[in-house]
């Protein structure tokens, strides 16, 4: 499992976890990892800060999911949302949640990561 954004990752392993994927996006989507609309728009409209967004996302979305099941479903996938690498985003909250619960690092995808000579599979 890795994470990235729609602008950077164009491969076949992408799974959108964004409320609004790009127009014309035809890849996989997993709606259960989408932020809830109320939290999304509260952050977008600067009504809440990043800390409150993360708290709500964890309570409203992640608390209802099993991190082991999510990891096993998407272990060979790249979870996608909009924000550039390094910016605050919910895909990195998911990555942290997986690491906290399973001890498995979920890195950001970079070009070349899909090279079969450059793959390291975590032991689980």
Q: Residues 6 or more apart from 67 whose CB is under 8 A from it?
A: 97, 98, 101, 102
What are the tens digits of pLDDT across the range 43-56? 999 999 999 999 99
Taking alpha carbons only, the member of 72, 89, 67 closest to residue 80 is 89
What are the tens digits of pLDDT across the range 91-124? 999 999 999 999 999 999 998 787 544 444 444 4
Domain boundaries along the sequence of the chain = 2-117
Q: What is the mean pLDDT of residues 59-77?
A: 98
* pTM of structure: 0.88
Q: What is the mean pLDDT of residues 54-66?
A: 98
Q: Are 99 and 106 in contact (CB under 8 A)?
A: yes
């Amino acid at each position: 499992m890795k994470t990235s954004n729609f602008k950077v990752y164009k491969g076949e392993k992408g799974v959108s976890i964004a409320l609004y994927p790009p127009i014309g996006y035809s890849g996989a989507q997993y709606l259960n990892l989408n932020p809830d609309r109320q939290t999304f728009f509260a952050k977008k409209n600067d009504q809440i800060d990043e800390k409150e967004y993360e708290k709500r996302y964890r309570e409203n979305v992640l608390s209802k999911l099993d991190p082991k099941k999510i990891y096993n479903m998407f272990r060979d996938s790249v979870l996608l949302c909009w924000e550039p690498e390094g910016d605050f985003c919910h895909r990195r909250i998911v990555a942290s949640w997986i690491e906290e619960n399973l001890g498995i690092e979920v890195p950001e995808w970079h070009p070349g990561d899909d090279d079969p000579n450059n793959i390291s599979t975590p032991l689980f």
